[in-house]
Structure 1
Amino acid sequence: MNVNHAQPPWTVDLFGKDRVDLVRDRLGQALVDMQENARAAQHEGDVESNHPYGWTRWPGSYRQVARQFEDVEGATVFKPNGFPFNLVHLERGLLYPFRFATEDISVHQAKLPSVGPFVRELFTFAPEPRQAALFDDADLGHGPVEVRPKLAALPEGTRLVLVPYACNPHGLLKPYWGVASLLDDQGSLDWVVAPEPLPLPATPTRRRLSAVPQQVAAPEHVSFDAGDQPVPILFARPDVEEKRDVPPMTEPDPIEPLAHEDDED
């Protein structure tokens, strides 16, 4: 992308002035590629449900972000212990994409789809909530958050950067990036800074799935007897049989078995 966008101070603080546009553009490209692949899966599935779209979209968000940054100098693409997909760490930012809606709603209403142990670990890299701290509340029953080793090994000062987006099989809506605190177990977020819209490229990088190519038409079916007739192989009778007037034998005489299959002996 060649369009210049304003660089919010928080993005410069986390990624550096020379990296902000690269990170923003590659995140946008990753989401466009994810959407293209998920829509292609839905088309190929040819089913009434949106399951093919969802099965491709969810892992695709992580895979496409990882692919966009795997060749970026200084970026670390890693799979946290026990998590099935890769995350990206660059400069001071830890990127975490998630879908917050299937329709056009405000990102300020965004909630995480679920809050499990892994999400709670990620939010140890987020600012403290301005309300009462979530994970120190004994009533919630979580106790101290133990961060898995590969997350714990990230550099000091790492900040979780959320990449929320809304989408459905018909379109990619309202992609953003920003920094927020987690407020409760329902996934409510408190945005520390106003989430910034992500500009999107006009075309995907590549298409991971494509329509089934046109099949070569099979020849018309023909009747079973329309092929070439076989040529029988003929053998002359031996001269000795012809001189003795031995009649030709078309089938050998049956041989009587010496024992029946039901005999025990």
Structure 2
Amino acid sequence: MIVNYAQPVWAADLFGAERAVLVQKRLGQALVDMQENARAAQDQGNVDTNHPYGWTRWPGSYTQVARQFEDVESATVFKPDGFPFKLVHLGRGLLYPFRFSTEDTPVRSAKLPSVGPFIRELFTFAPEPPQPTLFDGAEYGPEAVEVRPRLASLPVDTQLVLVPYACNPHGLLKPYWGVASLVDDEGTLEWVTPPEPLPLPTTSTRRRLSAVPPQASEVQHASFDSGEQPVPQLFARPDAEEKREVPPMTEPDPIKPLAHEDDDN
């Protein structure tokens, strides 16, 4: 299967023409690997809920993206203080993956799952919305956001690149990438560039979980009282004693010591 990696104009501007293709490939591979790991966790969980999938998928998207760019010489993989995940900065782009749906939902209606302090910091690197927003003049405006040092040290021309995707335990549905503005504290986005579909490879390369093969039944160790009972050996009395009607002796008579420990000798 031939995957088309024709890069959009905005991506070539942020990363460079050649590196834009590399970013496309690495992002697609990262999401495929994330999905395979999460599905393996779900299979291993053998439960009635999707919790194993979700617990693996959420950190897995950031982890797999970071791993894909660790060996790229011009990329910077870092974790700002207090952030729950690693970020990737490459060229003029700052990558941020997030799931916008569990169903086949149009990406233009995508919303961020939540808008917390670190999301507001990330969107200080996004274009300002062309129309007035709820952030204008409010405490959530870019001028009111204090950006932590590792982010503040990025080049001033850094641009936030969103990587929204839809997925569930049954499949990776719609991965995209593009540039958008944050409109309100409900996570509403306004796309500055058309969100472009991300081509996906057909196989994963970093699957870390696999099905556990059937295990042999455990050896049942015997308990201390489960063995065979010992049979005591019985000895017959000599014939001479029985003929003389000598009474059986159950305990021998004590032997009188020839010397005592208190004796002088």
Contact 2:124 2:142 in 1 (8 A): no
- The aligned residue for residue 263 of structure 2 is none
Alignment-derived partner of residue 203 in structure 2: 203
**Distance across 2 between alignment mates of 1:156 and 1:141:** 18
RMSD (Å), alpha carbons = 2.9
For residue 251 of structure 2, what is the aligned residue in structure 1?
A: 249
Hey, which bits of structure 1, 4+ residues long, moved more than 4 A? 139-143, 218-234
In the other structure, the counterpart of 2:14 is: 14
Counterparts of 1:144-183 in structure 2, within 5 Å, are 144-183=144-183
Rounded to whole Å, the distance in 1 between the matches of 2:82 and 2:202 is 35
- Residue 141 and residue 31 in structure 1: after superposition, are their counterparts in 2 closer, same or farther (change >3 A)? closer
Identity of aligned residues (%): 73
Could you list the runs of 5+ residues in structure 1 that have no partner in the other structure?
235-244, 253-265
Q: Does the 8 Å contact 1:14/1:91 carry over to 2?
A: yes
Q: Distance in 1 between matches of 2:151 and 2:139?
A: 26
With structure 1 as the length reference, what TM-score do the two structures score?
0.82
Alignment of 1:102-113 (within 5 A): 102-113=102-113
Distance apart, 1:155 and its partner CA: 1.2
1:123 aligns with 2:128: no
After superposition, where does 1:83-122 map in structure 2 within 5 Å? 83-122=83-122
Give a deviation string over 1:59-97, Cα, whole Å, max 9, x none. 000000001000111111100111121010011100000
SS at match of 2:172: strand
Structure 1 residues 143 and 71: alpha-carbon distance in aligned structure 2, compared to 1, 3 A threshold: closer
User: Where do residues 20-35 of structure 1 align in structure 2 (5 Å cutoff)?
Assistant: 20-35=20-35
Find the aligned partners of 2:143 and 2:17 in 1 and give their Cα distance. Answer: 39
Unaligned runs of 5+ in 2: 235-246, 255-265
Secondary structure of 2:17's aligned partner: coil
Partner residue, 1:259: none
The answer (yes or no) to whether the contact 1:136–1:143 under 8 Å persists in 2 is no
Q: CA shift at 1:139, angstroms?
A: 7.4
Measure how far apart 1:143 and its partner are.
6.9
* Alignment CA distance shift 1:233-1:61 (3 Å): farther
Alpha-carbon distance, 1:210 to partner: 1.5
Length, aligned pairs only: 241
SS of aligned partner of 1:131: coil
